[in-house]
Structure 1
C-alpha cells in the first residue's frame, strides 16, 4: 500500500474552484478539469519515494506482476487495466465516442493513440448533467416535427429511409456545406429559444453560448439528456455518443485515451471514423446509489469495477481482491494494512496490491477502483 499523487489536467472546460475546493486547496489561475489516478503513459500518478519520487507507470513497467498480479497481466496483455478520475466540467465537453477493442485494433494507423477500448462509468458527486446515447429514431422524428424547422425536417425524413437512419442523420448533419450548416443552426436555436418542454432545450441554449454556430448543437437534439444525482452511476459503453456538461463526478475507465469527436470542439472531427464506430443502440446504463455502507456499482465490463465505502467510525474491509486505487472524497479516511496506516484527506489516494487486506474508517467516502 502506498500513496498516489494525482495529475491535474488543465483543460479549458474545467472549473477554477470545484476540484481545489473538493481537495482542500486554493484555486489557481488555470481551470482544473480532471484529476488523474492511474498509470496511463501520458499522465501517470506520482508516487512518493525515498530521495525523490517516481510514478505508477514506472513501477508497473518494472514489475507488472507484483503490482497487478499475473492474471491481470495476462488478461490485459501487459497493460494496466483501468484509470480513475475526478471530473469538473463547467461547459460542454466535445460530443464524442470511444471505440471497442476490435475497432481500435482495426482502425487506420494514426487514428488512435493506442489499440485499447475506453468504456467508462461515472458516479455523480454533485448533480451531473450530460447528453448520453442517441434517442430512438421515432423520438427524433417527433421532436423535430414539433420544432417546425423545414430544413431539419427534410434531413430527418431523408435519413428515415436509409438502412441506419440515426447514422445517416449524423452523416448528413456533419457533412453539410458551411453556409447551409450555419443557417440550420440559427434556425434550430431560434426554434428552441423560448421552449422548456424538453430538458434538452435549455441545456442546448447554454451550450450555444460557448459554441455559437456549431453543428454539434443540432446533434445534441438527437441525444438523450440526463442529469445524474449524487450517488447515481452511469456506464457509457463503446459506441455510445456522449457529451458531459457540468458538475463533479468520479469517473472510472479502461486505461486508454482514444476519442473520436463529433462537434463542440476546436479539435479535429473524424467523420468517417465516427460513423464506423458509433452505435445508435449503444445505450447508457444508469443505476441509483446502492444501499449500505459498502456500495457495489456492478460489473459492466472486464476492464473495471467501482465500489464506494461510506463514512463510519468503525473499520470495515475494503472490497475487491485485485489491484485497487482508492480515493478519499468529501472528508478524510484512514486506510490500514497490517501495521501500516495512511491518513487520506479529501482528494488523497493510495494504491493497494492484489490480495492485500485493507480496512477503512473515517468521515469521508472512499471510492475503490479495481479491474472487472
Structure 2
C-alpha cells in the first residue's frame, strides 16, 4: 500500500476554496481545479517505496506491471494503469466538450504524430491514443449540462427567450429529423461570425435572466441562471449557444453521471470525484479560449438526444459495505464505502480516496495507512488482503479499480440502494 503524493492542477476555472477545504488547508488565492491520482504521464502521482526519494507511479508500474496491476489486467489492458482518478472542483464553467471513442482516438493520435504536431501545440487534438469515458460523482450539489436535449424541448425553451437571432436554429430543430437537426444546429452555432456570436450571446443572456426572474419553478430558475452565467463568463464565445442544446443537470451529493464517447457535456459548478479511462483527449465546443477544431469535433459528437441518467450507488452481492456506481466500461469501476470495516477485493490495482472523516487501510501483515480527507492510497494487485475501516458517522471513501479478468464477477447488484 502506497500513500500517494498528488498534483493539483491550477486551471483557471478551478474553485479557490473547495479543494483546500477538503484538504483542511488555507486557500492560496489561486484556482485549484483538479487533483490527479494515478499514472497518467501528464501528472503522475508520487509514491515512496523506501528508496530514499519519491518515485512516480507510472515508473513503478512500468518496472513490474504484473505485480502492480495483476496478470489479468495486463493481458486485457496492457502494462499501464487503465484509469485516472481525480477530485474536480469547478468554480467557473468548464468548456463544452466531447471525448472520442477508442478507434477515433487511435486514428487521430497516429495522424497528428505522423504530421509532427507537437504534443503541447495549441492545435493538437489528441494527447494520447486512448478513449476517455468518464464518471463524475458529486460531493456537494453539482451542476452542468450533459447530452442533447430533445430538439422540440429546446425549441420550446428558445421560443420563450424570444431572441430573433435564434430563429434559424429554431427552424432547423423544428423541421429536421433528430440527428440531422442536432448536427445542423451545432454546426450553425460553431460557424457563426464572431460579431454575430457576441450579439447573440448578449441578447440571449439578458433573455435568460428575464425568464429566470419570471419563473415560479425553482428548478427551472436555477437552470436559466446557470445558462445566463455563461454569457458573463464568455461573452464572445459560442459555448452558451452550444450549451442551450444540452440537458441541464443538477446532482445531489452522492449522485453521479456517466459520459460515454461523443456525449457533449460541461461542468458548471461544484466539487466531485471523477473517474475515467487513462486519457486526456478533449475536443471542445465552446466556453474556452482553447482551440476548437470544428470538423474534428463534428466527427466525434454523438448526435442523439438522451435523458441524462443520474446514477445512484447500489449494494453489491457478496461484497459487504461496497456501494457501486455501475457503468458500461471495463477500464474503471467506482464504488463508495462508509462507516464500518470492510474487506476489499484484491488481485486488481486500486486507489482509495478519503473524502470525509477518517479512513484506515490495514493489510494482512498489520501495516496501516490512515487517510484524512483528500488523501489517497494505491494498492497494488499483489498486496496482502486489505481491510478498509471508515471511522465516524461522516467517514467516506471512494475506491477506483478495474473490471478485469478477476473483477468481472463483482458487477452483480442487489436491489438495495
TM-score by length of 1: 0.94
The answer to whether the Cα contact below 8 Å between 1:319 and 1:368 also exists between their aligned partners in 2 is no
Shift, 1:340, TM fit: 1.0
**SS of equivalent residue, structure 1 residue 187:** helix
Match in the other structure for 2:195: 179
d(CA) in 2 for partners of 1:77, 1:324 = 16
Match in the other structure for 2:155: 141
Match in the other structure for 1:44: 44
Shift, 1:14, TM fit: 0.9
The answer to whether the Cα contact below 8 Å between 2:99 and 2:132 also exists between their aligned partners in 1 is yes
The answer to whether the Cα contact below 8 Å between 2:202 and 2:231 also exists between their aligned partners in 1 is no
d(CA) in 1 for partners of 2:225, 2:346 = 41
Structure 1 or 2: larger helix share? 2
**SS of equivalent residue, structure 2 residue 209:** coil
Shift, 1:25, TM fit: 1.8
The answer to whether the Cα contact below 8 Å between 1:309 and 1:318 also exists between their aligned partners in 2 is no
**SS of equivalent residue, structure 1 residue 332:** strand
Aligned positions, number: 370
- The partner residue of 2:356 within 324, 330, 334 is 330
Match in the other structure for 1:154: 168
Unaligned runs of 5+ in 2: 113-123, 404-417
Match in the other structure for 2:3: 3
Shift, 1:220, TM fit: 1.3
TM-score by length of 2: 0.85
Q: Is 1:279 aligned to residue 279 of structure 2?
A: no
d(CA) in 2 for partners of 1:49, 1:359 = 21
**SS of equivalent residue, structure 1 residue 193:** helix
**SS of equivalent residue, structure 1 residue 287:** coil
**SS of equivalent residue, structure 2 residue 310:** strand
- The partner residue of 1:119 within 128, 133, 136 is 133
**SS of equivalent residue, structure 1 residue 143:** helix
Match in the other structure for 1:258: 281
Shift, 1:158, TM fit: 3.4
d(CA) in 2 for partners of 1:255, 1:181 = 35
Match in the other structure for 1:296: 324
**SS of equivalent residue, structure 1 residue 266:** coil
d(CA) in 2 for partners of 1:23, 1:190 = 38
d(CA) in 1 for partners of 2:160, 2:100 = 34
**SS of equivalent residue, structure 1 residue 183:** helix
d(CA) in 2 for partners of 1:25, 1:55 = 24
Greater displacement, 214-223 / 101-110: 101-110
Change in CA separation of 1:299 and 1:182 when aligned onto 2, cut-off 3 Å? closer
**SS of equivalent residue, structure 1 residue 248:** strand
Match in the other structure for 2:27: 27
Match in the other structure for 1:369: 400
**SS of equivalent residue, structure 2 residue 299:** helix
Greater displacement, 19-28 / 250-259: 19-28
Shift, 1:195, TM fit: 1.2
d(CA) in 2 for partners of 1:28, 1:239 = 36
Q: Is 1:307 aligned to residue 338 of structure 2?
A: no
Deviations 1:39-61 (A, max 9, x none): 00010001023211111011011
Deviations 1:180-233 (A, max 9, x none): 222222222232221124343110122222212321111111111111000112
d(CA) in 2 for partners of 1:32, 1:111 = 24
